[in-house]
Structure 1
Amino acid sequence: MSDLKNRLHEELAIKNACQVEGINADPAIFEGAGLGDKYQEQIQTLFDYNLHNHTGVVLPVCFYTPGGLRVGYRWNDRSPYKLRREGNQFILYHERKELFPVTLKKRPKYYSLKTSDGANMNQVATHNGEGAIFVSYSNECFLKETGHDCKYCNINYTHDTYGEEHGVSWKYPRQIGETAAVAYQEGAKHITISGGFIPERREIDYYFDVAEAIQEHTGLQDFNGTAVIGAPLDLGILERYKDAGYRTIAMNLEIWDKHIFNSVCPGKVIHCGGWEHWVKALERAAVVFGHGRVRSNFVGGMETKKSTLEGVKYLASQGVIAYAGSWIPNLGSEYEGHRSPLPEWHLDVAYKIVDIFRSAGFTYEQLYDSSASADGIWNDIYKIEEERLPVFKGEPSAV
């Protein structure tokens, strides 16, 4: 068993590197491979993590390693990690060295269905694997109008570049409820609702309407939903989100160093009370929702490793699960063309974060419930060490 775990940790290091560096592949290799039919295609939701414009180009959402680790596909033709098609098989290489064959993710059945008003369900809620679905209800971020966008963010660029034909459009509560109902019938068990920055009062009303629609169409009072919101100025509002039916809540602080935060996230300073208030909101949310039922996110690589880990450790001590996803200098953001730290930097952070999580008593189930997807590096470390992957039972990966 230790040999298997060692191999999976090696695959995890490759996965991490692919997430940081991206994947180098000619999009033509996917022609005739069944993307958008047999295998799941990318749908634009919130941000675009590819490093090239792909209007009119169909790309896979992810692929799986032989051990069953899910690797998100981020196109970068300068990456040393290359995907090649050999017959009907896709093979991952590092430079000229063959690493292993990979498997594309099967397309969910609901991706071919429409809501009662004619919206494509695959553009209402994307499937992030292991029963996690994600709704980007809008790429409307009013920070653009004030010139206070977060500097690493390309949410408005994604909206302007890809538009409604790629699924970047407003999602109505009924559409979400109908799509969630079908997805849950197919095995989904967690839904995240997220979107761009909108005025606080409008945000509250919308999230409540969405919760009500999901409950109505799924028949579930507890639908295991995560509401991703801006830190409310009135902290008493947090209890109303729980009363509405959300099991978990997320407020992404992004940066622990308050001076960098003030510079990089000016809109969150102006409209959400600043760094101190954001931390207070997370602390209060943990009281309302409970230990391990609140999530925050850091942009891994935007500040020093020491600072990020200090933030993760402090928030964990308050019952808040804080991740540090690898920073991708997105197209259209003010940091386009910059460089994220090396893959080894990000992998070391991930293992150290898991040590903090374990010390805080966070379970895998809590990580799953608070995440938009179950494929974070920290999730994978839990799955390897706790033998949760299908490969441990001799079963094929659930792709």
Structure 2
Amino acid sequence: MGSSLKPEELMVELQSKGIRLEQGSVKGRQGGAGPANGKGMVFGTFQITVPTTGECAMNSHYSLHEDGERAFILEDGEVISEVELIGKPQFYALHTADGVPYNKIALLHGRDCLASTVIQTCSRWHGGERCQFCGIGTSLNDNNTMPVKTPKQLAEVAEAAVRLDGVTHVTLTAGTTANPLHGIKHLGDCARAIKEATGLLVHVQFEPVEDLSIYSQLKDYGVDTVGMHLESFDQKVRERITPGKAKLPVSKYFESFAKAVEVFGRNQVSTYIIIGLGESLADTLAGCVRCIKMGVYPFVVPLRPVKETAFANMAPPEPKTMVEIYTEVARALADKGLRAADSKAGCVRCGACSVLPAFER
């Protein structure tokens, strides 16, 4: 048993090529706003989610074999690695007093991050302005979640997730509301309720708004880190892939990044950058370096096919491409003293949707 690839290279392969699951295997998180349709795995000290649906996974030469409590990665039928699977958390079995299952309110991401799409609707979902890769409405249509989670519900679930499953931090996101400021303030209310109930570190994600005082308000609510997701630095790519969000120029994001870093500090502000949307890698690297110099962590991820979206059967970028961008971004992070491990909460701290943290070594 063994692979000729380094552990980080194998993780890149799996996230780019996907993995076939044996009949009866649990598929992992389905639908949702972020990198869904994946299976959580642990390689040494690093955790990743691996695509399990779409053409890339269905045709992958990698497969997963589960044998009792052990699991193995196979390449063309040959075992190349043993892997630890992230199991179903205990808090999923619980319900609120009015009968709502806890896993319709929040989910476990990675080994110890509690995550919730607090507002499971987006003002751009219907019509021509929605993000082409996003499946925020699919899990709602499948009755796997609820439209809006309340602060009280999230505090209750968070308390159980800490007590039963050792959760250590929280990620809160939302679809864009008709008045974006209202959505952000609801995220803040939820963060405050969780913080008061559990003391957990909390990360929130939202689009920039004109009112730059919102960052100080969120800090007062108890928010520890924030994320504003550009996805691409290329305006033409943004207009094609995220037409609604593209109405807000890249310059506005950088203005907001600067203010957020002023409030939350270096390494506590992040942005998702998706590789595989048709961007220039040189432009992407230049944008990442610009973020890093400001103290913003560019959380670089490969495109993830999500069911019932325009990108459901799109292939993630080739492993070689991801290794190249991870290597260069990791070098830039090291030059400026930024590390995933120093992020207090959220996607960067979890790291499961990217292999960038493994390249920081």
TM-score (norm. length: structure 1):
0.80
Please report how far the alpha carbon of residue 251 of structure 1 lies from its aligned counterpart in structure 2 after TM superposition: 0.3
- Alignment check: 8 A CA contact 2:32 2:137 kept: no
Please report how far the alpha carbon of residue 292 of structure 1 lies from its aligned counterpart in structure 2 after TM superposition: 1.1
How many residues of Structure 1 are paired with residues of Structure 2 in the alignment?
351
Q: How does 1:202-281 map to 2 (within 5 A)?
A: 202-218=182-198, 220=199, 223-270=200-247, 273-281=248-256
- Aligned-partner Cα distance in 1 for 2:307–2:87: 28
1:263 alignment partner AA: R
Change (3 A) 1:13 1:210: same
- Alignment check: 8 A CA contact 2:40 2:47 kept: yes
Task: Give the counterpart of 1:183 among 135, 154, 161.
Answer: 161
- Aligned-partner Cα distance in 2 for 1:105–1:304: 34
- Aligned-partner Cα distance in 2 for 1:336–1:200: 27
Is 1:299 matched up with 2:274? Answer: yes
* Equivalent position of 1:393 in the other structure: none
* Equivalent position of 1:391 in the other structure: none
* Equivalent position of 2:131 in the other structure: 150
- Alignment check: 8 A CA contact 1:368 1:379 kept: no
* Equivalent position of 1:392 in the other structure: none
Task: Give the counterpart of 2:315 among 339, 362, 377.
Answer: 339
- Alignment check: 8 A CA contact 2:228 2:270 kept: yes
1:306 alignment partner AA: A
- Aligned-partner Cα distance in 1 for 2:88–2:4: 25
Task: Give the counterpart of 2:81 among 96, 100, 123.
Answer: 100
Q: How does 1:78-89 map to 2 (within 5 A)?
A: 78-85=59-66, 89=70
Please report how far the alpha carbon of residue 154 of structure 1 lies from its aligned counterpart in structure 2 after TM superposition: 2.6
Please report how far the alpha carbon of residue 280 of structure 1 lies from its aligned counterpart in structure 2 after TM superposition: 1.3
- Aligned-partner Cα distance in 2 for 1:137–1:179: 13
- Alignment check: 8 A CA contact 1:144 1:156 kept: yes
The unaligned stretches of length 5 or more in structure 2 are none
Q: How does 1:52-131 map to 2 (within 5 A)?
A: 61-65=39-43, 67-75=44-52, 76-85=57-66, 89-131=70-112
Q: How does 1:367-382 map to 2 (within 5 A)?
A: 367=343, 369-371=345-347, 373-375=350-352, 376-382=354-360
| Partner-residue secondary structure (3-state), 1:254 | coil
- Alignment check: 8 A CA contact 1:24 1:78 kept: yes
- Aligned-partner Cα distance in 2 for 1:291–1:68: 24
The unaligned stretches of length 5 or more in structure 1 are 1-6, 51-59, 386-399
Is 1:352 matched up with 2:328? Answer: yes
- Aligned-partner Cα distance in 2 for 1:135–1:370: 11
Larger Rg: 1
TM-score (norm. length: structure 2):
0.88
Identical aligned pairs, as a percentage?
21
**Structure 1 residues 372-381 or 246-255, which shifts more?**
372-381
Please report how far the alpha carbon of residue 365 of structure 1 lies from its aligned counterpart in structure 2 after TM superposition: 3.1
Instruction: Please state which structure has a larger fraction of its residues in strand.
Output: 2
Is 1:14 matched up with 2:10? Answer: yes
| Partner-residue secondary structure (3-state), 2:125 | helix
Is 1:25 matched up with 2:21? Answer: yes
- Alignment check: 8 A CA contact 2:229 2:273 kept: yes
